[in-house]
Chain A
């Protein structure tokens, strides 16, 4: 029997449909449900009110990340409401029998860092979490997306989710990235090209030789920001890079070879059709710096900040004008003239070991500018441990960076790490929305190497030319 050629997305979708009927959302089985403290309390409470259990506690994994302090863990949490939320997660996990990586566990960390690191995230899975950056896990050839709290409750109760079948969008990138140009620059560039809603309604598959050449850490950076282009899911077909990464991880399949054989069936078949395909050349991509208040407002480091009149559309002009006002810019400034007050290296986008190595390579033997305060927040306890084994912590602290405990930290500033009004920050995180890193704070998104170089110079520099 010959079957229709299918995309990676279609194969995973088809494999997980429990029930489908005309005019209804499909009931999709969920293989892995990741849970954190901010979007789960109301869902567990919903279960309790209805007298329901967690259907598959063994497919549910929890950790606290959004709210946790990144200072000394032996000290009490000062914010009583944060503490209550973290305590509530612990109690809920105990009551419902869910595995929970608590603050004192070395495996605690950002949920999108620990899932892959511990081997929970695997090719072909459906993965959800009450967090929009769940798209990160798509880097393994999984279908992974963020959901709301009502849906968290739905998954806890039924291990399924009601879903409209998204369309498929192929974003193909060919050629080699130039020296100093990273996966972060690649994804910021793509979002700049397709806009922040270009991926809306689509599951994106990233293809092409540029993508194939990326490490798992870099693939996660790309898939992580799919949501910033409007796509709930971003995925990359699994290959030897994927299998090598997962081999030997704590929760990787025990019969690894059979698992790999099954995973080899996942990549998109020759001749399979996407609903839409767009192609890009890696050689066009320079290091990127966002200048506005959404990730699509981005330009090359060797460019200038645009002016509202550069935009033809009236809504875009208004958006640009509002963004410039908020960012304290007039338009026309060279990106490399922008002076910084703060630098944040961290987040589920860029706090894995490779990201820290890239930043440390830049920081080594240099000093953070006297007018900059810079911090490095590892993505998990294990990343922190490995970085310390490699001596990266000493590189950072000797250069004047603050070296912290794992968590989401100043990516969203729910914990004490935040910008003061008017402070300008180079950040390796994923969102430059107004107030995201603290009310009135001004965020420029960049790669880890660009952030580290900016910390040292006190302004943005073109990492390709910087010595």
Chain B
């Protein structure tokens, strides 16, 4: 996994609550057996008109947010299915950071396994970020995971919380399985107590 330490990037705002994983990556793309290449299918049903061409009204199709790597979202982002194809598609599309008031648990977990940082901030702060991104053309945010800060070039700074172990893994690009297997003797001992 590639490490995540700092990131500065263009913000795309998605002003909808309860964005579910069926929208992020519709089921017709879950049949693939690879882990890569899902980016082009991101938000497929929302991003395309009936004839398959891009819908110019869709948030992520606006010319001003092309190349965005920070997604600003509303509460309960990523609810629904456990499909890791959702973070795979967001990551493959180019997102490294998602900011929202709340995330669905499984999706939140899945992001960390894919070098993506989901940041939870109070609703009022997220409201402020939505106004800022509407105000400033080409609005960017900067994340410093080491310092737990999110900031912009116009005086905004917020600190965020993230579980210390997950932070450590992201900062160092560590894979969970390797870490867990450092405790293999304990797993074996545990198994010996089971009938």
Contact = CB atoms under 8 A, between A and B. Distances in A.
B35 interface: yes
B184 to A, nearest CB: 8
Interface stretch (B16-24, B60-68, B137-145, B149-157): B16-24
B133 interface: no
A423 to B, nearest CB: 15
Interface string B155-181: 000000001111000000000110011
Q: Classify chain B: how many residues form its interface, as a range.
A: 35 or more
Contacts of A85: 31-33
A316 B30 CA distance: 30
A39 B26 contact: no
Given A41-B33, A132-B82, A159 B187 contact: yes
A241 B82 CA distance: 30
Interface residues of A, number: 64
B180 A148 contact: no
Nearest to A153: B177
Interface in B81-128: 81-84, 87, 102, 104-106, 109-110, 113-114
B27 interface: yes
Contacts of B191: 29, 56, 159
B20 A433 contact: yes
Contact of A39 (B20, B82, B176, B181): B82
Contacts, number: 162
A319 interface: yes
Most chain A CB neighbours (cut-off 10 Å) among B84, B113, B164: B84
B180 A160 contact: yes
A73 to B, nearest CB: 19
Contacts of A230: 76, 79, 104-105
Contact of A147 (B76, B82, B164, B166): B82
Contacts of A412: 22, 27, 81
Interface in A169-224: 196-197, 200-201
Interface of A: 18-19, 23-25, 27, 29, 38-39, 41-42, 45, 50, 52, 55-56, 66-67, 79, 81-82, 84-85, 88, 130-132, 146-151, 153-154, 157-160, 162, 164, 196-197, 200-201, 227, 230, 232, 294, 315-316, 318-319, 322, 412-414, 421, 431, 433-436, 439
8 contacts: A42-B84, A84-B33, A132-B80, A150-B114, A151-B109, A158-B184, A159-B187, A414-B28
